[in-house]
């Protein structure tokens, strides 16, 4: 049986805030496997990015992290900073959502990629530059021998995102985390970037963790999906499980808010506002916004539902009192 490349176990992240602690991640457990795409989906503020940053050890000092982050079996939270630095960029890498802000405007694209390569390999600049040209070509940059000497402002938005991906894969990591990699890109370029990421996952056999707020972008991309709300995973399963048999009202609400060309019409908005990490409601954190909470009664307001397997499935799990022993009604 294949072991996960990345395993999170009861991960909790709390930030120090001016008005008290902010619980950003509340007991997340998930696995990312080699050669597969795991999509982590949820609204802004659901804890997706905090989970990603905790997974690679890039949270600020104001954050307190509990639980374990296992990278190929080694616990990131238990190792020395020197060991973390050695893993970061070689075994696990990250593509950030704002490529322009993540790239150094005063260094060429090639220099930044070759520096990332030299950090983990004892090679000279000429060898590292050759490697930079190679990976730029691999991510679809035309004339990489010439564009390697361009600065970030000379690349379009889509090209900068490709350059960020090139920097992330230059050392062929076992795990790649892509945090909203298609933000601010037009639809055509979004498709190209997603195809590039999934193609690299197949070619390199790495585990890809795709962070997004949009279920629509993962429909043809992900192998498995984890839906987050208020710092918790409220539903997880295969793409078919999530799209064909959603078992959490929040998941269904996200699907109803996704444009569908086969059934055009007004999109359904999710009522209310996302739960705040400074003042989480009791019980199920989604219950103030849930259309089915009234049918359950006090349990939704007082008892936090566990993430349990759905009837007849070991992989499909949901944390919902209403659907614990029944299906959501059809639209």
- The CATH number given to whatever domain includes residue 26 is 3.40.50.300
At residue 202 the predicted structure's pLDDT band, cuts being 50, 70 and 90, is very high
**Please, are residues 173 and 14 in contact by the beta-carbon 8 Å criterion?**
no
Q: Are residues 238 and 212 in the same domain?
A: no
At residue 262 the predicted structure's pLDDT band, cuts being 50, 70 and 90, is low
- 325, part of any domain: no
Q: Considering the chain, what is the average pLDDT of its residues?
A: 92
Pairing of strands 63-71, 74-75: antiparallel
Phi, psi dihedral angles at 276 (to 5 degrees): -90, 140
CA dihedral 53, 57, 58, 64 (to 10 degrees): 80
Distance, CA of 222 to CA of 155 (rounded, Å): 28
Residue 177's DSSP bridge partners are: 94, 209
Q: Are residues 40 and 181 in the same domain?
A: yes
**Please, are residues 201 and 189 in contact by the beta-carbon 8 Å criterion?**
no
At residue 265 the predicted structure's pLDDT band, cuts being 50, 70 and 90, is low
Q: What percent of the chain has pLDDT over 70?
A: 97
Domain that holds residue 125: 6-222
**Angular region, 72: left φ>0, alpha ψ -120 to 50, beta rest:** left
Q: Are residues 142 and 194 in the same domain?
A: yes
Look at residue 230 and tell me whether its pLDDT is greater than 80: yes
**Please, are residues 43 and 50 in contact by the beta-carbon 8 Å criterion?**
no
pTM for the full predicted model: 0.93
Q: Are residues 161 and 25 in the same domain?
A: yes
Distance, CA of 48 to CA of 123 (rounded, Å): 36
Rounded to 5°, the CA angle 48-326-40 comes to 10
Q: Are residues 54 and 97 in the same domain?
A: yes
Q: Are residues 97 and 123 in the same domain?
A: yes
Looking at 192, 222, 252, the residue that finishes a domain is 222
Look at residue 204 and tell me whether its pLDDT is greater than 70: yes
Domain count, the chain: 2
pLDDT of residue 17: 82
Distance, CA of 322 to CA of 325 (rounded, Å): 8
- Tokens 């374990």 map to which residue? 68
Closest CA to 284 of 320, 252, 310, 251: 320
pLDDT of residue 196: 93
**Average pLDDT in the 85-106 region?**
92
Q: Are residues 161 and 85 in the same domain?
A: yes
In the DSSP assignment, the letter for residue 288 is G
Look at residue 331 and tell me whether its pLDDT is greater than 70: no
Look at residue 284 and tell me whether its pLDDT is greater than 90: yes
Q: Are residues 85 and 182 in the same domain?
A: yes
pLDDT of residue 237: 96
Query: Which two three-digit tokens encode residue 247?
Result: 């078992």
**Angular region, 54: left φ>0, alpha ψ -120 to 50, beta rest:** alpha
Q: Are residues 156 and 233 in the same domain?
A: no
pLDDT (tens digit per residue) in 130-187: 999 999 999 999 999 999 999 999 999 999 999 999 999 999 999 999 999 887 788 8
Closest CA to 167 of 191, 194, 132: 132
Looking at 201, 222, 243, the residue that finishes a domain is 222
Look at residue 31 and tell me whether its pLDDT is greater than 80: yes
Q: Are residues 238 and 189 in the same domain?
A: no
CB burial class (10 A; 0-12, 13-18, 19+) of residue 3? exposed
pLDDT of residue 137: 96
**Average pLDDT in the 30-36 region?**
97
125 contacts: CB under 8 Å, gap ≥ 6: 114, 118
At residue 51 the predicted structure's pLDDT band, cuts being 50, 70 and 90, is very high
Q: Which range among 36-50, 89-103, 182-196 shows the weakest confidence by mean pLDDT? A: 182-196
At residue 327 the predicted structure's pLDDT band, cuts being 50, 70 and 90, is confident
At residue 261 the predicted structure's pLDDT band, cuts being 50, 70 and 90, is low
pLDDT of residue 285: 95
Looking at 197, 222, 247, the residue that finishes a domain is 222
Q: Are residues 130 and 246 in the same domain?
A: no
Q: What percent of the chain has pLDDT over 90?
A: 75
In the DSSP assignment, the letter for residue 292 is T
C-alpha distances in Å from residue 188, one per residue of 171, 206, 260: 28, 25, 17
pLDDT (tens digit per residue) in 112-136: 999 999 999 999 999 999 999 999 9
Look at residue 330 and tell me whether its pLDDT is greater than 80: no
């Amino acid at each position: 049986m294949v072991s996960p490349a990345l395993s999170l176990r009861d991960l909790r992240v709390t930030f120090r805030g001016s008005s008290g602690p902010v619980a950003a991640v509340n007991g997340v457990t998930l696995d990312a496997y080699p050669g597969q795409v795991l999509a982590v989906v949820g609204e802004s503020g659901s804890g997706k990015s905090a989970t990603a940053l905790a997974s690679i050890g890039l949270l600020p000092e104001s954050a307190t992290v509990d639980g374990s982050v296992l990278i190929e079996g080694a616990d990131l939270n238990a190792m020395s900073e020197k060991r973390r630095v050695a893993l970061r960029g070689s075994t696990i890498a990250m593509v950030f959502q704002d490529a322009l802000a993540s790239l150094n405007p005063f260094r060429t694209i090639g220099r930044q990629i070759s520096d990332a390569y030299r950090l983990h390999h004892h090679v000279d600049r000429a060898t590292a530059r050759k490697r930079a040209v190679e990976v730029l070509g691999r991510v679809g940059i035309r004339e990489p021998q010439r564009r390697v000497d361009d600065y970030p402002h000379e690349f379009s938005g889509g090209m900068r995102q490709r350059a960020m991906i090139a920097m992330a894969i230059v050392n062929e990591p076992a795990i790649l985390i892509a945090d909203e990699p298609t933000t601010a890109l037009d639809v055509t370029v979004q498709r190209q970037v997603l195809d590039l990421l999934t193609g690299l996952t197949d070619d390199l056999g790495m585990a890809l963790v795709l962070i997004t707020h949009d279920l629509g972008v993962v429909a043809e991309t992900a192998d498995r999906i984890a839906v987050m709300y208020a710092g918790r995973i409220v539903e997880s399963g295969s793409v078919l499980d999530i799209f064909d048999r959603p078992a959490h009202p929040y998941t269904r609400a996200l699907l109803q808010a996704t444009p569908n060309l086969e059934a055009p019409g007004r999109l359904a908005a999710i009522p209310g506002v996302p739960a705040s990490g400074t003042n989480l409601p009791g019980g199920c954190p989604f219950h103030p916004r849930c259309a089915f909470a009234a049918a359950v009664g006090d349990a939704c307001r007082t008892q936090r539902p566990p993430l349990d397997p759905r009837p007849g499935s070991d992989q499909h799990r949901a944390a919902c009192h209403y659907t614990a022993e029944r299906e959501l009604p059809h639209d």
